[in-house]
Amino acid sequence: MERFAMDALRAWKNRRNRKPLVMRGARQVGKTWLVRKLAETEFESLLEVNFEQTPGAAALFASNDPAKILPLLAAQFGQRVEPGRTLLFLDEVQAAPQVLLSLRYFYEKLPALHVVAAGSLLEFALADHSFSMPVGRIEYFFLDPMTFGEFLCASGREALWGFLRSWRGADDFPAPIHDDCMELLRRYLAVGGMPESVAAFLDGGADFEASERARQGVLSTFADDFAKYSRRVPVENVRKVFESVPRQLGEKFTWAKVDREVRSAGLAAALDLLCKARVASKVRRTTGSGLPFGADAEEKNFKAIFLDVGLASLACDLRSRDLVGAADLLLGNRGAVSEQFVGQELAAARPPWEPRDLFCWARESRSSNAEVDYLGASGGRVYPVEVKSGATGRLKSMHQFLAEKDTDFGLRFNGDVPSFVETDYPDGVGARHPFRLLSLPLYLASEARRLVEERI
């Protein structure tokens, strides 16, 4: 299966001033597979050191000196490491986090050698050690589950994905292609982007049951990891939060909906660990008054999304029949899953070296509440992002954001063909204010930034 991140890895490989790469991502998103594929296509050899399978290998890195480490690796694994020809892959490095210190010296003393480190729960390992990462001497690389575009390519629909990637907002969008994309999107919302689930679905000839078994296995694997959280918070708290995140999609996350009998501080610690494990992500509330969004983001007011829309659908007890046969993907709990999908695609559309932080906006008052699902920015300008099925006149929260921030552009995702209109909204005191609304079908979420820039 094609992973779009491979292009960025090839660019890293060929860059003269590259640094050792630390790949970050949740379990089973395909980190090991991707690095092995890179070695297969771009290098003459691969030396893979898995610190969970061979924990004693950590002792080979004790000197932090590449001149001493490489002969030891050759003796241990019977394979020479040749700079420029060999990819050195340090996998499951969370089992030996002290090895990460050696990355600094590989960068300083042997920059010609390509080194990639990867591991799940890496943030946990770092929290248990007193050293800090060698800042300025490594590069981070975030890997997400497979996107909708990658799902299309894996399904043999590369030409369709090429059309979506090249489509410009000024062009007409054919209705048959839209219908086809919506049908494929329904499949993706059920299957999701975990490689094992996608492979099971496609290998079985669109076998939803095989995909469901694979996703259930992934959820069980995450649950097995909870024992590794136990030194930090009670396992039962982690389990409760893990089960609650999919059920609270699309709404302000509240601890009372997790468990009224457990103190919020204990549940907050559990959620923080799930976020560090990249199983969940917070969508923090911010004022939306300027960039960066995180400068005034609220730590206690947020929504939460799950790692993957297919896992979220299963956890919400939405089966393939509930999604593939749905006339409207934005009604009921399907609407929450659609909001999960948009957030997941917006995050994954960023370059792999950028963090995946997401933000929203809300105003709570006795007279009227307002909430904008996500916030975006283009050219330094902030704009509201709504996931809606309604017509323009029902975008009340978007209108309130536009009025409060004195701006005139909004982005809406829905189930219709793309459109761009110049319209207006009432301010409640008799006046109307002009604004521009770009509406995109859900399946174009990954292309939103490009299409917004065309209009702004």
The encoded tokens of residue 328 equal: 């409207």
pTM beyond 0.85, yes or no: yes
* Residue 128: per-residue pLDDT: 67
Show which of 127, 142, 157 is a domain's final residue: 142
Q: Which of 299, 329, 356 is the last residue of a domain?
A: 356
Query: Is 116 found in the same domain as 261?
Result: no
CA distance 206 to 363: 43
Residues 296 and 201 in one domain: yes
The answer to whether residues 247 and 98 belong to one domain is: no
CB 23 within 8 A of CB 92: no
> Do 91 and 12 belong to one domain?
yes
Per the structure, the count of domains in the chain is 3
Question: 243 and 154: one domain?
Answer: yes
In a shared domain, residues 195 and 297: yes
Q: Say yes or no: 369 and 405 in one domain.
A: yes
pLDDT for the residue numbered 390: 55
Strand (E) or helix (H) holding 107: helix 102-109
| Cα–Cα distance, 106 to 276 (Å, whole number) | 27
Beta strand pairing call for 302-306 and 86-91: unpaired
- Please check whether residues 265 and 281 belong to one and the same domain: yes
Q: Are residues 308 and 392 in the same domain?
A: no
286: Cα within 13 Å, side-chain hemisphere: 23
pLDDT tens for the chain, 456 residues: list them: 899 999 999 999 999 999 999 999 999 999 999 999 999 999 999 999 999 999 999 999 999 999 999 999 999 999 999 999 999 999 999 999 999 999 999 999 999 999 999 988 887 777 666 666 777 899 999 999 999 999 999 999 999 999 999 999 999 999 999 999 999 999 999 999 999 999 999 999 999 999 999 999 999 999 998 988 877 789 999 999 999 999 999 999 999 999 999 999 999 999 999 999 999 999 999 999 999 999 999 999 999 999 999 999 999 999 898 899 888 888 878 899 999 999 999 999 999 999 999 999 998 876 678 999 999 999 999 999 999 865 555 799 999 999 999 999 999 999 999 999 999 998 777 789 999 999 999 999 999 999 999 998
pLDDT of residue 27: 93
In whole angstroms, give the CA distance from residue 388 to residue 394.
Answer: 9
Structural domain span for residue 403: 361-455
The span from the CA of 335 to the CA of 381, in Å, is 27
Task: Give whole-number Cα distances, 133 to 22, 109, 123, 192, 348, in Å.
Answer: 10, 17, 11, 33, 24
**The residue to which tokens 């761009």 are assigned:** 420
Write phi, then psi, for 302 (nearest 5 degrees): -160, 165
Domain identity same for 272 and 323 = yes
State the CATH number of the domain containing residue 75.
3.40.50.300
The domain boundary, picked from 96, 119, 142, lies at 142
Do 290 and 202 belong to one domain? yes
CA atoms within 13 A on the CB side of 125: 17
Among the listed residues 57, 125, 113, the one whose alpha carbon sits nearest the alpha carbon of residue 88: 113
124-162 residues labelled b (16+ CB within 10 A) or e (exposed): bbbeeeeeebbeeebbebbbbbbbbbbbbbbbebeebbe
Residue 129 pLDDT: 66
Indicate whether 159 and 263 sit together in one domain: yes
The answer to whether 255 touches 264, Cβ cutoff 8 Å, is yes
